[in-house]
Amino acid sequence: MTEQFQFTDKLKRNLGIMMLVGAVGLVLAFLCYTDNNHSRFWSNVLVNAYYFTGISLFGMFFVCANQLGYSGWITLIKRIMLSLSGFLVIGGPLLLLICALTWVGGHNLYDHWTHMLHAKHMPENFTTKAIFLNLPFWSGRIVLYVVLWILFSKLLTKFFGREDLADPKVYKKSKLLAAAYIVVFAVTESFVSWDMIMSIDPHWYSTLFGWYNFASYGCAGFAFTILLIIFLKSKGHLNQVNENHIHDLGKFLFGFSVFWTYLWFSQFMLQWYANIPEDTIYWTKRFGAGFKFTIFLALAINFLLPLLVLMTRGAKRNFKVLSFAAVVIIFGHYVDFYNMVMLEPNTPVSAHHEGGEHHAANKSIEQILYAENHAAATEHKEEAVVADSKPTELESHAAATHSTEEASHTTSAEGHAVDAAHAAHPSGHAEEEKVLSYASLGLVELMIFTGFIGAFLFMFFLELAKRPLVPANDPYLQESIKHQI
């Protein structure tokens, strides 16, 4: 049973057009949006590279998890999910490029800590984060992640393509390799979510952020797998894959959507209820900067749609319904990552560009920004009001400028300190205050997203064409063929 996929010129041309659309979007983002060191360009690169890299990693994880669990049903689609890892040779280097340019100030994605950590007035309780967000240590971790990911993608796709997989000794080795990757995935997936996404706003944290990212990878990974299997079947491939296999993938897609919602609600409800500035600042900044619509758009797509559309057995076995849900969910989780990344880099130019040297008049505001609890925030707010009550002309102007530029990064506790600074200079910077964020989920973002989808699919099909679609010598092949639910 040898079934080989042919990557046709027509398919390459169509995907090439998608990538061209993305390239045009990247050029527009770079040339037309020059604010904050081309922040809209680099934040789009980060969102898409990170999102599709996570999907690639999840495909390998799911295969390895089933391999360790002696699962047979997945055998017919094993090569499909493994081939999702093809994008790693693009996504990994893009993450390394972002890492390298951080050293030379080529973008502003991590200015919030690369500059602030060297400020004179740094709260004592930021010491641990300062150790973790040390540029050489941070860069070394990311290089290690990418090297391990690409190494395992080559090992797994090559090993599971062996013809002697029916040999008990070889099959046992496959389980050892699968176990090793699951450990690597569990550690690197959590760490890279902290290093490349959470560290954009280093004074905010979530103890379940790694799980939250994992759930998004899973939803998008299952959605892509469903769409790709249905596409391949429409081209005459995978004839032995039936509605039972698709039903199982639909159940995983629905289950991971509910899991993602549980984690979303856990972050939102618990952080809002606890009312700790370092927690609630994530939401207050986004709600005040025009992200409220996209936040609840992502929630509606990623929870309500699966709940209303994929609940029934019939929906999970209907290829058209499942395809529609999969397409929308892929976009929904892109919007979720958009919400995570886009605010801080695209906020109007702030004190990050002062090289980390803050005026003494701004000390209280800086400490509030990194406050560990509400009491500390309140105390520093009062100090700011007292300090600004009789300012010199130079100090008043500095405080007003800093307060305006940091407005999008402050909590509700900071608001009074900002108002006090502006009271000293009523003229303020009215025009700058109107711009809460340069980010926008517009045509440019959709073009870039389309281009990355094209690149992701191109690398997927390129990897898929290297080996037969069905592992003919897999000991669980017959169980997969006869799979019934």
Residue with tokens 């605010």: 343
Mark whether 181 and 256 lie in a shared domain. Answer: yes
Mark whether 82 and 20 lie in a shared domain. Answer: yes
Residue 22 within any structural domain of the chain: yes
pLDDT of residue 119: 47
Mark whether 309 and 403 lie in a shared domain. Answer: no
Mark whether 292 and 231 lie in a shared domain. Answer: yes
pLDDT of residue 88: 96
Distance CA 122, CA 336 (A): 31
Q: Tell which of 402, 427, 452 closes a domain.
A: 427
Mark whether 365 and 325 lie in a shared domain. Answer: no
Cα–Cα distance list, 426 to 396, 397, 410, 430 (Å): 11, 11, 20, 10
- The model carries a pTM of 0.82
Residue 223 within any structural domain of the chain: yes
Mark whether 204 and 90 lie in a shared domain. Answer: yes
Cα–Cα distance list, 462 to 54, 85, 465, 472 (Å): 19, 11, 5, 20
pLDDT of residue 127: 62
In one-letter notation, the amino acid at residue 352 is H
The total number of structural domains in the chain stands at: 2
Cα torsion at 87, 180, 154, 238 (round to 10°)?
Answer: -70
Query: Is the distance from CB of 345 to CB of 336 less than 8 angstroms?
Result: no
Mark whether 462 and 421 lie in a shared domain. Answer: no
pLDDT of residue 279: 75
Mark whether 407 and 299 lie in a shared domain. Answer: no
pLDDT of residue 126: 58
Distance CA 263, CA 266 (A): 5
Mark whether 455 and 384 lie in a shared domain. Answer: no
Residue 1 within any structural domain of the chain: no
Query: Is the distance from CB of 253 to CB of 307 less than 8 angstroms?
Result: no
Task: Please report, in tens digits, the pLDDT of each residue of the chain (485 residues total).
Answer: 568 899 999 999 999 999 999 999 999 999 998 878 888 999 999 999 999 999 999 999 999 999 999 899 999 999 999 999 999 999 999 999 999 999 998 898 998 788 654 444 445 555 667 788 889 999 999 999 999 999 999 999 988 877 677 777 888 888 999 999 999 999 999 999 999 999 998 888 888 999 999 999 999 999 999 999 999 999 999 999 999 999 999 999 999 999 999 999 988 887 777 777 777 888 888 888 889 999 999 999 999 999 999 999 999 999 999 999 999 999 999 999 999 999 988 887 643 444 333 333 333 333 333 333 333 334 444 444 444 444 444 344 444 444 444 444 443 434 443 343 333 333 333 333 455 678 889 999 999 999 999 999 999 999 999 988 988 888 888 999 998 88
Mark whether 343 and 372 lie in a shared domain. Answer: no
Number of Cβ atoms within 10 Å of the Cβ of 70 = 10
Task: Look up the domain containing 408 and give its range.
Answer: 356-427
Q: Rounded to a whole number, what is the distance in angstroms from the first to the last CA of the chain?
A: 24
Query: Is the distance from CB of 172 to CB of 220 less than 8 angstroms?
Result: no
Mark whether 401 and 253 lie in a shared domain. Answer: no
Residue 75 within any structural domain of the chain: yes
Question: Angle at which helices 319-341 and 443-464 pack, to 10 degrees?
Answer: 120
Mark whether 268 and 287 lie in a shared domain. Answer: yes
pLDDT of residue 383: 47
Residue 246 within any structural domain of the chain: yes
> How would you label 264-281 residue by residue, b for 16+ Cβ within 10 Å and e otherwise?
beebbeebeeeebbbbbb
Q: Which two tokens stand for residue 230?
A: 């249905």
Residue 192 within any structural domain of the chain: yes
Query: Is the distance from CB of 343 to CB of 241 less than 8 angstroms?
Result: no
